[in-house]
Copies of this chain bind each other. A is one copy, B any other.
């Protein structure tokens, strides 16, 4: 059991690179090691040695971000949590929204920079590149999802 907690710690590092807090990353790591029955909050508390208030807010954030699912077994009165069906697809889609954000930013830049063509060129190229990626990415996802 110590092996998984070591893995969980590693995972927390990696997910931290995606903007998650440390405990958020730890939760994701632990959820990677369980099956579709998921875990409940007290289990997370003891497994990760984290206060239940912290897991509560963190679970909420992960749920809002579409990374995990909250569900309840019929007849029980305690929430359980598991990874969302398509966590990583969702992660990629989140990246895509960043693409759109950057095309918007480039547009905005074109609005404030003057007529100097050399200044405009880079912003246009930035806008077009992110637009290109945003356009191509879904196809890549589709290819993956139906391909394998």
Contact = CB atoms under 8 A, between A and B. Distances in A.
Size bracket of the A interface: 35 or more
Given A118-B36, A122-B83, A7 B148 contact: no
A77 interface: no
Copies held by the complex: 2
Contacts of A61: none
A17 B105 CA distance: 13
Interface string A109-127: 1011100101100110110
A14 B144 contact: no
A107 to B, nearest CB: 11
A52 B88 CA distance: 41
A4 B112 contact: yes
